[in-house]
Amino acid sequence: MTTDSYLGYSDRLLRLAGDLNTKPWHASRGAVESALNGQAAEQLRALVPRTVRRAQGAFFTGSHVRAQFEDLLEDSSAFWDPACGAGDLLLAAAGKQRLGASMRDTLHIWGKSLRGGDLQSSFVQTAKIRLFLLAATRHKERGESIDIDVASGLELLKGIRVADAYGELERTRSYDGTLVLNPPFGSMQAPADCGWASGSVSQAAVISSISASKICLGQQFVAILPDVLRSGSRYARWRSSIESVIDLKTIVPYGQFDDHTDVDVFLLAGRRRRRRTVPDPSALWWPQQTSSSTIEDIFKVSVGTVVDNRDPHSGPELPFLIARDLGDLGSIETPVRSRNFAGRTYKPPFVAVRRTSRPGLRSGGNARAAGTLVTGTQEIAVDNHIIVIESRSGSIAECNQLINILNSPKTSDWLDNRIRCRHLTVGVVRSIPWSQ
């Protein structure tokens, strides 16, 4: 699957860049500004079918995320984006690079200091032309003329070329510059030598982990990554592996990547340090805990034990609680639905919370972890789409207090920062602050 249809856009940019030598600057300035901002991502959606974009993991960083990314970038003599797309992160990096005495001189400097690779030649070509346009803009802002034609300018940007990130990273022993990254977000089989996972894993996790280990001591690593790596329990070992080589400085939970890409992301910045073992990920990954006690101190938290389509219908007939029956009710006294089940059951009172939980959608006052009080005298079988929170003391008053905390906007905000995935985990529910 190729992205050749994107060449239509890079050809248009090429003409725009060519015109800079012949037309007055004010005639092109508006078009150049658009080309340097959200247009590359817009054109990607317009010209490349969604199936191809997904297969290639192609989602370009828009202006808003790029501005936050730029804030994290520190000065450096060199920058490398191994999956550069249309060059948005390289444009952020080039904004930090010094200008030469002339535009030709600047492109000569950038050709040495900026490195980028992508599998798609249409993206690489676009990235180079956009860097040319940025150099032109910066020189024009200084009142200088454009002393180089586009063909010669692109020729100078030798560091940006068609290349496979994995091969390039493997060939690199240590990169002496800042590594910037917004990698493809799809899945892949973990490489045989992957120390933190096996089987199917996030491609972003694999590329970021390899990239972080390939930069020289003291150099900066700045990345935009899917939020599941920051908040998912499945990626705890990935977090430790990143921290074993990167001294983390900043983690910024960002939210949805853009209006068209339903993936939550976060930004990470840190510096390469000497490799060492990190037993537990640091608290930086999550928002600071404001309360000294958490739900875990007072309640037992677990996932319901019934896997309905798999577990045999044997054993005693029991009231059976499923997520759909939680409805909007604040409490349930013994579920009406029943099922035969021989496994672990739960004795009321307890609080039931749906595991599916979408961040940021709280119109109508819906809490991310709305709790339902379950009372009654019979043991209950609970479906595994529900998180069960049992009061250690068996107190209904304590359960009601918990429901108030779970339903509060403060807890939903805390959860939005802590976990952007669409499923709550037991670990995260345990660590919700117990604040009155």
Ligand X SMILES: C[S@@+](CC[C@H](N)C(=O)[O-])C[C@H]1O[C@@H](n2cnc3c(N)ncnc32)[C@H](O)[C@@H]1O
User: Which listed residue (184, 226, 270, 349) binds ligand X by CB under 6 A?
Assistant: 184
Q: Does 6 bind ligand X (CB under 6 A)?
A: no
Q: How far is the CB of 127 from ligand X (least distance, A)?
A: 8
Would you tell me how many other CB atoms lie within 10 Å of the CB of residue 324?
A: 10
Q: Are 384 and 305 in contact (CB under 8 A)?
A: yes
Q: How far is the CB of 83 from ligand X (least distance, A)?
A: 3
Q: How far is the CB of 250 from ligand X (least distance, A)?
A: 18
Q: Does 14 bind ligand X (CB under 6 A)?
A: no
- The secondary element (H helix, E strand) that includes residue 386 is strand 386-391
Q: Where are the strands (E) in 187-295, listed by range?
A: 187-189, 200-202, 220-226, 246-258, 261-272
# of chain residues touching ligand X (CB under 6 A): 23
CA distance 66 to 352: 40
Q: Does 81 bind ligand X (CB under 6 A)?
A: yes
Window 357-396: residues binding ligand X (CB under 6 A): none
Q: How far is the CB of 87 from ligand X (least distance, A)?
A: 7
Q: Does 57 bind ligand X (CB under 6 A)?
A: yes
User: Which listed residue (7, 89, 380, 389) binds ligand X by CB under 6 A?
Assistant: 89
Nearer to ligand X, 120 or 345 (CB): 120
User: Which listed residue (166, 187, 305, 433) binds ligand X by CB under 6 A?
Assistant: 166
Q: Does 175 bind ligand X (CB under 6 A)?
A: no
- The secondary element (H helix, E strand) that includes residue 350 is strand 350-354
Q: Evaluate the CA torsion angle 240, 244, 246, 250 in order and state its sign.
A: positive
Nearer to ligand X, 248 or 265 (CB): 265
Q: Are 356 and 388 in contact (CB under 8 A)?
A: no
Q: Evaluate the CA torsion angle 153, 155, 158, 160 in order and state its sign.
A: positive
Q: Does 221 bind ligand X (CB under 6 A)?
A: no
Residue number of the CB atom closest to ligand X: 85
CA distance 322 to 327: 10
Nearer to ligand X, 122 or 244 (CB): 122
Interacting span for ligand X (CB under 6 A) from 84-92, 150-158, 396-404, 415-423:
84-92
Interacting span for ligand X (CB under 6 A) from 136-144, 178-186, 265-273, 409-417:
178-186
Q: Does 117 bind ligand X (CB under 6 A)?
A: yes
Q: Are 41 and 258 in contact (CB under 8 A)?
A: yes
Nearer to ligand X, 118 or 311 (CB): 118
Distances (CA, A) of 236 to 88, 170, 242, 326: 29, 24, 10, 31
Nearer to ligand X, 57 or 232 (CB): 57
Q: Are 331 and 373 in contact (CB under 8 A)?
A: yes
User: Which listed residue (13, 14, 85, 130) binds ligand X by CB under 6 A?
Assistant: 85
Q: Does 264 bind ligand X (CB under 6 A)?
A: no
User: Which listed residue (119, 188, 252, 426) binds ligand X by CB under 6 A?
Assistant: 119
User: Which listed residue (33, 141, 164, 317) binds ligand X by CB under 6 A?
Assistant: 164
Q: Which residue has the tokens 């003599």?
A: 77
Nearest by Cα to 363 from 412, 401, 420: 412
Nearer to ligand X, 119 or 303 (CB): 119
CA distance 264 to 266: 7
Nearest by Cα to 88 from 257, 236, 241: 257
User: Which listed residue (6, 80, 111, 118) binds ligand X by CB under 6 A?
Assistant: 118
Six-digit token string for 384: 């595994």
Nearer to ligand X, 89 or 295 (CB): 89
Q: How far is the CB of 164 from ligand X (least distance, A)?
A: 4
CA distance 125 to 118: 10
Interacting span for ligand X (CB under 6 A) from 80-88, 192-200, 357-365, 370-378:
80-88
Q: Are 313 and 282 in contact (CB under 8 A)?
A: no
Nearest by Cα to 69 from 222, 211, 179: 222
349 upstream amide cis, omega within 30 of 0: yes
Q: Does 182 bind ligand X (CB under 6 A)?
A: yes
Residues interacting with ligand X, by CB under 6 A?
Answer: 56-61, 81, 83-85, 88-89, 117-120, 123, 164-166, 182-184
